[in-house]
Amino acid sequence: MFTHVCTDRTPSPLIDTTLELTTALVPVPTASVLQQLRTATAAQHRALEARLPLTHADLDFPTYQRIIQAYYGFHSPLQRSIDQFFAAQPAHSSLVQDPARHKVPALLKDLHAMGLTDAQIQDLPQCSELPVIDSVARLLGVMYVMEGATLGGQVLRRIIADRLGIDAESGGEFLDVYGRDTGRLWKTFLRQLADFDSPRHNAEVAQSACLTFECFETWLERAGVLNDA
C-alpha cells in the first residue's frame, strides 16, 4: 500500500535545483510532421475559411464564378511550378506526381460550363507570387494545403448544389475533383508525408504550408472574392 504524505516544510533550494536538472534531461517527444502542420496552419485555416463566401447564405452565382476564376488563377501557375520541380528533380517524381491530382482540367471544365470561352480563360489573371518549391519539404508543405482543401470540397460541393443548383456538369467539377478517389489519395499523401517525417525537415514543411496559405489568401484578396476580415 502506498501512503500519500503531506508536509509543510520549506523545500530545499538544492532539491529544487536537482529536480529542475532532472526534468531538463528527460527527452521531450517531438511532434510528428502532421501535428506540426496542423498546429502551424490552424489559425490561417480558420481565418481563410471564415472569409471565403462559399458557405455564406448570401452566396450567388456571380460570386461563385469569380471564386472559380480566382482558383484557376492560382492553381494553374502552381501546377506549372510543381511540374518544373519534378522535371528538375526526376528522382522525386513518384512522391506526389500523380496525374489524378491535377486540378486544372476540372477548373477549365467548370469555367467552360459557366460560359467562358478559351480566349476569356486565357485572359484571366494568374498569380505570380507563389510559394517557392525547390525541395521535397517545401513541396509537401504546399501539397498539405492544397490536398487538405480538396477534402473540404466534399462539404462545399453539397452546399453549392443546394444553394445554387450547380453540379459537376454545370460548374462544380472542381469541388469534387477526385470523386471516389478523394479518401484514397488523401491517405496516400499522408503516408508519403509520414515517410518523409524528420526533425531535420519538418520545420521547413510547416513553413512552406504557412507560406502557401499566405500566398493563397493574398491572391484571393487581390481577386476581390474574400469578405472583410
CA angle 117/112/142 to nearest 5° reads 110
The dihedral region occupied by 215, where left means phi > 0, alpha psi between -120 and 50, and beta the remainder, is alpha
Say whether 73 sits in a helix, a strand or coil: helix
**How large is the average pLDDT for residues 176-189?**
92
How far apart CA 213 and CA 186 sit, in angstroms, is 19
Q: What is the full DSSP assignment across 114-130? A: TT--HHHHHTS-----P
Question: In terms of Cα–Cα distance, which of 80, 63, 174 is closest to 128?
Answer: 80
CB 217 within 8 Å of CB 226: yes
Note the pLDDT of residue 151. Answer: 87
For residue 6, pLDDT beyond 70: no
Note the pLDDT of residue 30. Answer: 74
Instruction: Collect all residues with Cβ–Cβ distance below 8 Å to 39 and sequence separation of at least 6.
Output: 31
- Does residue 227 sit within a domain? no
Sign of the dihedral through C-alpha 6, 8, 9, 13: positive
* CATH number of domain containing 118: 1.20.910.10
Note the pLDDT of residue 168. Answer: 94
Of 8-12, 135-139, 188-192, the least confident: 8-12
- What cell does 204 get? 521547413
Average pLDDT, the chain: 86
The confidence band for 1, taking pLDDT boundaries of 50, 70 and 90, is: very low
Of 9-23, 155-169, 184-198, the least confident: 9-23
When divided into structural domains, the chain yields a total of 1
- In angstroms, the Cα distances linking 59 to 54, 80, 208 are 6, 31, 31
- Does residue 69 sit within a domain? yes
The confidence band for 86, taking pLDDT boundaries of 50, 70 and 90, is: confident
- Does residue 163 sit within a domain? yes
How far apart CA 105 and CA 89 sit, in angstroms, is 24
Note the pLDDT of residue 229. Answer: 72
- What cell does 27 get? 527527452
- Does residue 8 sit within a domain? no
Instruction: Please enumerate, as own/partner, the contacts of 107-113 that have beta carbons within 8 Å and a separation of 24 or more.
Output: 107/68, 107/71, 107/72, 107/75, 107/76, 107/173, 107/174, 108/72, 109/173, 109/174, 110/68, 110/171, 110/172, 110/173, 110/174, 111/68, 111/69, 111/72, 113/169, 113/170, 113/171, 113/173
- Does residue 13 sit within a domain? no
Please give the residue range of the domain that contains residue 181. 32-50+58-222
Q: Where is mean pLDDT largest: 95-109, 111-125, 149-163? A: 111-125
- Does residue 12 sit within a domain? no
For residue 184, pLDDT beyond 80: yes
pLDDT digit string (tens) for 26-63?
A: 444 578 999 999 999 999 999 999 999 999 989 999 99
Note the pLDDT of residue 162. Answer: 94
CB 63 within 8 Å of CB 225: yes
- Does residue 9 sit within a domain? no
- Does residue 17 sit within a domain? no
